[in-house]
Chains A and B, each alone.
Chain A
């Protein structure tokens, strides 16, 4: 049984499709040579073309086209050898041309797919409908002056890839996993930095609800969803809203709704009377974009190992579980970190340490994996100390914490603090004998059948040895002596 929402009339299923706008990583804009750095002073990265001065003409940026092809290949999608730029006409103050150059009925990339690894170990395949290239608009700033709006055209003309999924997602978790995976793929490819906070990846979410087995019902498009957390909220709110409408006997209208992050709700953006008629038509300033098989093949040959392939390899070479491998390959830096740690070591142990204590520490210190609190070399050395029995798992955790605090190598810490585990049989036997001698009544109870007391003895022994006794040896010897 999948994700369902209970209503008064029964269970409802969610249907979600996503349109993701991903800003193409490129030094210059889609149709002009103007720069595209984030956070530049307003209106400093605007060419005559971007400002739509009279007589100015767009010229396609070949690098942005390559980036779109690269992304299409990363989504295992059809690359269309002929695509057409069209004008989407509407008036707005931050849209200088009065139209956005986009692709309409002939996009550069056709159908593809994204594979999601869900937490329960299952996988879901989400279809990609298309990917097209288009220009971004500028920014309107309405809060800078009591009666005027300010316009910043730095973003105007920046290249976006609009990646449209099929309505294949059935839960907020799947939608979140989809965005996460998509972001991972474009980051691997270097085609978009995937930074949702800076707006270089933005989502429009199409949501509808239906009873199981029904065809699709009317959907609403929710705009302005700029984090995965907000996407969760928006989907859940919108689904509930639609279910309430249906259950009260109403009909959901197809419309665009805006997500209000402060109130956690969606609200209608424009009424039907104001609905835009975009009057799409092929842009006569641009010739159809024609690609050769060679160009596509060259780009294909330059693709990096992508998350899915890397995951397969991790599962094969390191014998990791589907889920563990999926977590480790989510970004290239984590995968690289893991491989550095795992090289020549027990991969399962390496995975556990990277995903457990290391990621935990990374989160705790708010660090970045490219500048980690513990280097891959030091973490590898720590694992070596476990493998050669210098450290018990428990001691290793203490050493790891000291490594996080000091940034020092594990060997140095072990030597300095004397944390080397005790593997001397005689010493451990002596400690155990002392513990048993000090607790004759507990020994008697144990021998009369109270097995649970075994843990007590282990704890006492560890306490007297300052945690340094090798736990396996303690277990073995205890069993023997308690007989």
Chain B
């Protein structure tokens, strides 16, 4: 562990700008960390040579005072973002050897800002999962250990588990994630880092392998709120290649971190405190409320009455879209092909061999809910629920500025500790899914530890395209919580 890998992006920018450190030095330190931490299995593909090449470019630009916003900052890129000339797998066998001839808009924006790509981080296969256990290339391990010395391997959460693990373990200064139902926020909470899901439409989806198009949204995963603001600045922006990308100006996100939240109203939704909520999550939340109150904000109890239907609606809408989005992986043009006697046989064999169990499950569910005779009962009904959930939030934001909730119902669990019931696994998303369905911006940041010594996160949700208020409140909460815990083997 070196001092360099402990820096935040904001600090590293300052040092790079002043010439105190070079991008090559910084990148080399992270490459060493990446090699040392291979046991975490956070990366599907490491690109150290490419990283050094980009670091040298960044140094040259920095020398001429022409460095971009993220010049020389080593990042992990979730392996769902297509990267030109670099294998992009979605952690699936079906794309095991797929090398895109194009670069996603978000990763291209990061590159233009001078960021250095260390490699492609692992994820749940096609971003479907909350544990990173569904990756075709083995599970990602969280760098965190319980303090009981059991040495049990913990999941980093998912689907952006490789990114969360890498940022938490100080392999990368930040990483891209994508969030469909909580895939940025939940792993951020499990790994004790900051994860920001922007408003749907803030970051282009072009070149991001689709899971559920109406929900997928890219965002930053970092070790500080300010870093998240900086990274989002580089990632976001209107893209004419994505029809759902919002054509609205980008504010200066970092400038929103004024530290002043006096007079803001913080919504506390009563539906997020179900009977079975663990005492420590409940306390974490209460502590967070007190911190914001102490900073001059006013907590207001609100009701989001349709919350209880959100998970069910999500697990109809997302699989429905995925069943169609994943139809293109048919073995005909690229990716895995298993030959068959007929075209149908080729499809069946290719897809059976190429997709893992969870992906197959969601494709089947999605196919079912869109079928003739079931469409209205499932898909149409779910869309109605989705509209009601969005309306719940809209009403709430008439009285409050931001909403505070726990990010996940528990701390990270151990590999193989959960039962095999997929529905139990889906419950991890219970607090993150509603904002996804409503397309709202949300951030998770670590504010405390569980009794086991594992990080726990709180989530702040904002109005559409009001990432600024979310970041501002998150910044205050971050300072107040003073979360300093580090994963095993990481010392500050």
Contacts and interface: CB of A to CB of B under 8 A. Distances in A.
**A and B are interacting partners:** yes
Interface stretch (B31-39, B148-156, B237-245, B468-476): B237-245
Given A60-B243, A285-B213, A55 B332 contact: no
A315 interface: no
A59 B209 contact: no
Interface stretch (A46-54, A181-189, A212-220, A331-339): A46-54
B209 A98 contact: no
A296 to B, nearest CB: 21
A58 B81 CA distance: 17
A151 B213 CA distance: 28
A87 B324 contact: yes
Interface in A266-313: 277, 279-281, 284-287
A58 B205 CA distance: 11
A276 to B, nearest CB: 10
A55 B328 contact: no
Nearest to B89: A54
Given A96-B328, A277-B372, A53 B243 contact: no
B359 interface: no
B95 interface: yes
Contacts of B333: 51-52, 96
Contacts of B90: 54
B355 interface: no
Contact of B100 (A52, A53, A89, A286): A53
Interface string B345-381: 0010000000000000000000100111001000100
A146 to B, nearest CB: 15
A97 B328 contact: yes
B70 interface: no
Contact of A54 (B100, B321, B347): B100
Contacts of B214: 284
Nearest to A92: B343
B98 A59 contact: no
Interface in B22-81: 81
B104 A55 contact: yes
A59 B206 CA distance: 11
B101 to A, nearest CB: 8
B236 interface: no
A141 B82 CA distance: 31
Contacts of A237: none
A54 B324 contact: no
A55 B243 contact: no
Given A51-B333, A285-B213, A285-B243, A57 B328 contact: no
B320 interface: yes
B82 A55 contact: yes
B194 interface: no
A64 B314 CA distance: 34
B367 A279 contact: yes
Interface size class of B (residues with CB under 8 A): 35 or more
Contacts of B104: 55
A59 B240 contact: yes
Contacts of B208: 55
B88 interface: yes
A286 B102 contact: no
B279 interface: no
A54 B205 contact: no
Nearest to A90: B327
Contacts of B82: 53-55
A99 interface: yes
A380 to B, nearest CB: 53
B371 A93 contact: no
A363 B183 CA distance: 69
B207 interface: yes
A91 B324 contact: no
Given A58-B243, A98-B324, A279 B213 contact: no
Interface in B182-226: 205-210, 212-214
Contacts of A57: 205-206, 241-243
A377 interface: no
A60 B242 CA distance: 10
B324 A99 contact: yes
Given A89-B327, A91-B347, A281-B370, A54 B243 contact: no
B184 to A, nearest CB: 18
Contacts of B324: 87, 89, 98-99, 279, 281
Contacts of A285: 210, 213, 243-244
Most buried by A among B88, B90, B102, B212: B102
Given A54-B98, A55-B207, A284 B370 contact: no
Contacts of A151: 332
B429 interface: no
B125 interface: no
A277 B326 CA distance: 17
A56 interface: yes
Most buried by B among A60, A92, A277: A277
B371 A54 contact: no
B213 to A, nearest CB: 4
A93 B206 contact: no
Interface string A77-121: 000000000010101110011110000000000000000000000
Contacts of A281: 320, 324, 370, 375, 379
Contacts of A58: 243
Contacts of B101: 48
Contacts of A93: 330, 332, 343
A89 B241 contact: no
Nearest to B207: A55
A56 B327 contact: no
B400 to A, nearest CB: 29
B334 to A, nearest CB: 7
Contact of A53 (B81, B240, B334, B371): B334
A53 B321 contact: no
B328 A54 contact: yes
B327 A98 contact: yes
Contacts of B375: 279, 281
B161 to A, nearest CB: 20
B107 to A, nearest CB: 11
A56 B332 contact: no
Contacts of B206: 55-57
Contact of A279 (B210, B243, B244, B370): B370
A287 B321 contact: no
Contacts of A53: 82, 100, 102, 334
Interface in B367-403: 367, 370-372, 375, 379
A151 B332 CA distance: 9
A130 to B, nearest CB: 20
Nearest to A48: B102
B243 A287 contact: yes
A93 B213 CA distance: 23
A60 B240 CA distance: 11
A96 B343 CA distance: 13
Most buried by A among B82, B90, B333: B333
A279 B320 CA distance: 9
A54 B367 contact: no
A454 B333 CA distance: 82
Nearest to A279: B370
A139 B240 CA distance: 29
A91 B328 CA distance: 9
A262 B205 CA distance: 49
Contacts of A92: 343
A281 B322 CA distance: 12
B314 to A, nearest CB: 14
Nearest to B321: A284
Given A59-B241, A151-B332, A279-B324, 4 more contacts: A55-B100, A55-B104, A55-B208, A98-B328
16 contacts: A51-B333, A53-B82, A53-B334, A55-B208, A57-B206, A57-B242, A89-B327, A89-B370, A91-B347, A92-B343, A93-B332, A97-B327, A279-B324, A281-B370, A281-B379, A284-B213
Interface of A: 48, 51-60, 87, 89, 91-93, 96-99, 149, 151, 277, 279-281, 284-287
